[in-house]
């Protein structure tokens, strides 16, 4: 199983480079013993970047897998098991995903509190725009304006984002299971990585990458909404530029 370095703590998501060893290969991909590349999952798109090894720089175009993480390479790689490589993440894309995903947590947490426990039942995180599916609800313009205003007020407060590991019983004792979507998680998973914004403005299980302070987000900008049937509405958003953007860490993991 590939060690996912970005899950070590919130700050680990700011690392851009890492060293690893090839543990499995196919004609177009490799599995590493450790990685900073985020694989597709949880609504968040994969990272891209490069692997540098004995055959030069290789472009990583796709990353998938929950256990063994497959790094798909644009061209034939000629890497072998045991080869050592240095991975480099495309920082602009990674950081955009971090900001967008944290914004999704913030908006989902506030919506739950403001609109009678409305659930987040889906999301898609991309670098330039993202979306959240809510159920059950029918947003009008006033409701959405209030939601976005509440999110931007919190962003201006500069709340910290933290993570910890909890058991299912521990998180259920703090947050309602319908807010954390506990029913969607396999019952075999006993310990969960919990991401929290401020003092429980949002608090839920997540294996995605996030910023360390929501001031990095910039203001949330509403793009549109559409009905997805059966009481579900999809809200699309983007993020304005922030004066508090961070640079990647210079630490090689």
The full set of domain ranges for the chain reads: 3-89, 96-239
The whole model's pTM is what?
Answer: 0.96
Q: Check if CATH label 3.40.30.10 holds for domain 96-239.
A: no
Mean pLDDT over 36-58 rounds to 96
- Of 61, 72, 70, give the one whose Cα is nearest residue 35: 70
Say if CB 39 and CB 94 are below 8 A apart: no
**What is d(CA 169, CA 159) in angstroms, rounded to the nearest whole number?**
26
- Tokens 């004792």, residue? 173
Q: What pLDDT is attached to residue 113?
A: 96
Q: Is 54 buried (19+), middle (13-18) or exposed (0-12) by CB count in 10 A?
A: exposed
Q: In angstroms, rounded to a whole number, what is the distance separating the alpha carbons of residues 172 and 242?
A: 34
Structural tokens at position 243? 């004066």
pLDDT in tens, 145-187: 999 999 999 999 999 999 999 999 899 899 888 888 877 777 7
Q: Which CATH architecture has domain 3-89?
A: Beta Barrel (2.40)
Q: What confidence tens digit (pLDDT) does each residue in 197-242 have?
A: 999 999 999 999 999 999 999 999 999 999 999 899 999 999 999 9
The residue behind tokens 């240095």 is 86
Q: How far apart are CA 212 and CA 159, in angstroms?
A: 9
Q: Give the Cα separation of 182 and 172 in Å (integer).
A: 8
Calculate the dihedral angle through the C-alpha atoms of 197, 202, 204, 208, rounding to the nearest 10 degrees: -50
pLDDT of residue 243: 96
């Amino acid at each position: 199983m590939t060690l996912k370095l970005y899950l070590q703590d919130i700050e680990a998501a700011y690392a851009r480079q890492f060293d690893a060893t090839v543990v499995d290969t196919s004609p177009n991909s490799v599995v590493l013993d450790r990685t900073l590349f985020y694989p597709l999952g949880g609504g968040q798109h994969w990272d891209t970047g490069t692997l540098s090894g004995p055959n030069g720089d290789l472009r990583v175009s796709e990353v998938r897998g929950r256990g063994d993480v497959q790094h798909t390479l644009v061209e034939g790689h000629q890497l072998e098991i045991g080869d050592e490589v240095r991975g480099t993440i495309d920082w602009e894309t990674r950081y955009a995903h971090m900001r967008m995903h944290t914004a999704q947590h913030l908006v989902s947490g506030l919506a739950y509190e403001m609109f009678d426990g409305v659930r987040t039942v889906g999301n898609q995180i991309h670098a330039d725009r993202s979306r959240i599916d809510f159920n059950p609800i029918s947003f009008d313009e006033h409701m959405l304006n209030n939601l976005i205003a509440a999110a931007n007020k919190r962003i201006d407060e500069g709340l910290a984002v933290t993570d910890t590991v909890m058991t299912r019983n521990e998180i259920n004792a703090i947050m309602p299971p319908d807010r954390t979507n506990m029913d969607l998680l396999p019952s075999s998973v006993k310990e969960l990585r919990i991401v929290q914004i401020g003092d429980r403005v949002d608090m839920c299980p997540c294996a995605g990458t996030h910023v360390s302070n929501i001031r990095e987000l910039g203001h949330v900008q509403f793009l549109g909404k559409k009905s997805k049937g059966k009481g579900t509405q999809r809200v699309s958003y983007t993020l304005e530029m922030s004066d508090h953007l961070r640079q990647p860490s210079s630490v090689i993991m």
